[in-house]
Amino acid sequence: MAGVARGKMLPAEKFLEQSTMRLPESVFTQTVTGEFLNEPVINPADRDILVKPDLNTLRQLPWAKDPAATVINDCYYEDGSAVDISPRQVLKNVLNAYEVLNMVPIVAPELEFYLVKRNTDPSLPLEPPIGRSGRQET
């Protein structure tokens, strides 16, 4: 759940004709740097999971040169049970826990980023950029 979208790119025809798509379960244990967790969170066989598109999330990508879209998927094991470590399922479980208490949480993604001065030398430290005022940001 490191804020990195994981998925597949497919031509529209293949998306429409394919009844199921698969991903390795380990996709949920990969860190933002591409490494895998040391703790045994998943089946060591790294089984495939099934992904089912939630068509309510289907959106056209307006910046794409060629027509393209994105869709968020729910993840399931072969037996039909939800993949409990899928970030989407984790959020559903949290929402259900609140519903039991007759409460409704307010949730939203928090996008964090830092603006830094352009630097082509990785051995130098990062510096705040110069703002519109001409002063260095803090």
Q: How far apart are CA 69 and CA 132, in angstroms?
A: 35
The pLDDT assigned to 2 comes to 60
| pLDDT for position 122 | 87
Query: Looking at residue 50, what is its pLDDT?
Result: 94
Tell me the CATH class for 12-100.
alpha beta
**Amino acid 3: pLDDT:** 64
pLDDT of residue 119: 85
pTM of the model: 0.68
- Residue where the block lists tokens 């490494």: 35
* Cα distance between residue 7 and residue 71, in whole Å: 10
Task: Please give the average pLDDT of every successive group of 10 residues along the chain, which has 138 residues.
Answer: 72 85 84 74 79 94 91 94 92 95 88 82 86 79
